[in-house]
Amino acid sequence: MHPFESHIRNVPDFPKEGIIFKDITPLLQERFNEVIEAMARTINWDEIDYVVGIESRGFILGAAMATLKGKGFIPVRKKGKLPPPVISESYALEYGTDTLEMIINSKPGRVVLVDDVLATGGTLNAVMNLCHKNKFEVKALSLLINLTFLNKFTEDGHPVHSVINY
């Protein structure tokens, strides 16, 4: 068992029945530094220009990683939050559907995508599509937690780096 796991709370039936929600707030409160260092350690930073953080827990983790490594930060937000011009991508979530947006970019760059939990992979797929449409080359995917039983990302050859795997 990873030492971080004792700080992750399993919340049954949140936000919907049947979901076991991984609450990382106790882990962030007690071990934030170590979490950011553990996530940052998995990435080859020489090949990364920007960190792409996914609203909203991806902002907390991604922004801290970007600061630690001296990289820029690009937010991916829920529909309607970013000012135009934006590109959008709709996707299926483990609980519901949603649309994500990114500001239209004209400067090519190599990116790492950061989020807290990889579940079905719908979110990361949508963000990868946004990046490809927006001149960003996705070099790596960085997650704190990979719920490996819900997705086939690693088998499909995506460069997934996660600290805790269930």
Query: CB under 6 A: which stretch of 18-26, 38-46, 74-82, 130-138 binds ligand AMP?
Result: 18-26
41 among known catalytic residues? no
> Active-site residue 110, yes or no?
no
DSSP state letters, 99-138: EEEEE---S-EEEEEEEEEESSSHHHHHHHHHHHHTTEEE
| Contact residue for ligand AMP among 67, 78, 81, 93 (CB under 6 A) | 93
Query: Which is catalytic among the residues 30, 57, 77, 89?
Result: 57
Is there a contact between 69 and 47 (Cβ–Cβ < 8 Å)? no
Strands (E) located in the chain: 9-12, 20-23, 50-54, 72-78, 86-93, 96-103, 109-118, 136-146, 160-165
- CA dist 16 and 13 (Å) reads 5
Cβ proximity to ligand AMP, 21 vs 73, nearer residue: 21
Region binding ligand AMP by CB under 6 A among candidate stretches 14-22, 75-83, 131-139, 155-163: 14-22
> Does residue 98 bind ligand AMP (CB under 6 A)?
no
Considering only 94, 105, 129, 166, the residue that binds ligand AMP (CB under 6 A) is 94
CB of 108 to ligand AMP, least distance (A): 26
* Phi, then psi, of 135 in degrees rounded to 5: 70, 15
**Any contact of residue 39 with ligand AMP (CB under 6 A)?**
no
Instruction: Tell me how far, at minimum, the Cβ of 46 lies from ligand AMP, in Å.
Output: 27
Collapse the DSSP code of 153 into the 3-class scheme (helix H, G, I; strand E, B; otherwise coil) and give the result: coil
Catalytic residue among 37, 55, 94, 110: 94
Task: Evaluate the omega torsion of the peptide bond into residue 15 and state whether it is cis, within 30 degrees of 0.
Answer: yes
The residues annotated with a catalytic role in the active site are 57, 94
